[in-house]
Structure 1
């Protein structure tokens, strides 16, 4: 089931940083851009696509949106952000760019045959999983590729 045009939505994922300028440098090294209209000394709007954005917020500013404790992403996983790429090579390319820009790879690549993925932690410890899935598996499930 796919959403109708009326149901189309954008996603804004809010993540914390202890160094906003470092984060902006890191995310632009991945090939993404910063929307200056929604960026200031407290936040940077990272544009991933026409419908996906990351709001990278200083911890102090992030805290103004919730009364809950703000976990340290280096020690606590609150969310894992998975982003598909068009090929295995594209997965390797974006992770390698992130590593060169100060990120780290918290675990080894996973190759499940129908899906290939690598994890990348940004300099603050926020985890991104970049993956490529065989189109047949994406359409019919992993057994469609077996």
Structure 2
């Protein structure tokens, strides 16, 4: 079995969150999706996000659920293949109801911008120029 990264994220409205990530072009794994959760496929066989209702998420932990619109525990960073992919995903996120917490940052060798999804989780998209060798 390949190693995978699966992010478990609490969401307030599962259907709205599914629609948000579908608008970004991500698919879902129906085998592990249902009334309480939906598995977003970010990178096939490698990176997934399990969107879970807050009620179900609470059954997995013994601490309060952080309200991501009020406080952040982490920033999820995804690499992109080009500046254009960064800009395209940001535009899709904003059109689907997300917001950008800061303008894009261009460091020459690296370009990035972030978005906040509809539940307040922060995602940073980054493109890094190939190294010349």
Per-residue CA shift, 1:67-120, capped at 9, x if unaligned? 122110001111100001100010000110111111111111111221111111
Q: 2:119 aligns with which of 124, 132, 137?
A: 124
- Indicate the SS of the match to 1:48: strand
Q: Return 5+ residue gaps in structure 1 as ranges.
A: 1-5, 141-146
* TM score, norm. by length of structure 1: 0.86
Aligned twin of 1:38: 32
Aligned twin of 2:18: 24
Q: Which has the greater radius of gyration?
A: 1
- Indicate the SS of the match to 2:59: helix
Work out whether 1:14 is the aligned partner of 2:11. no
Cα RMSD for the two superposed structures: 1.5
Q: 1:102 aligns with which of 97, 104, 111?
A: 97
Aligned residues: 132
* TM score, norm. by length of structure 2: 0.94
Work out whether 1:135 is the aligned partner of 2:127. no
* Higher share of residues assigned strand: 2
- Indicate the SS of the match to 2:131: helix
* Higher share of residues assigned helix: 1
1:64-79, aligned counterparts within 5 Å? 64-79=59-74
**Runs of 4 or more consecutive aligned structure 1 residues displaced over 4 Å after TM superposition:** none
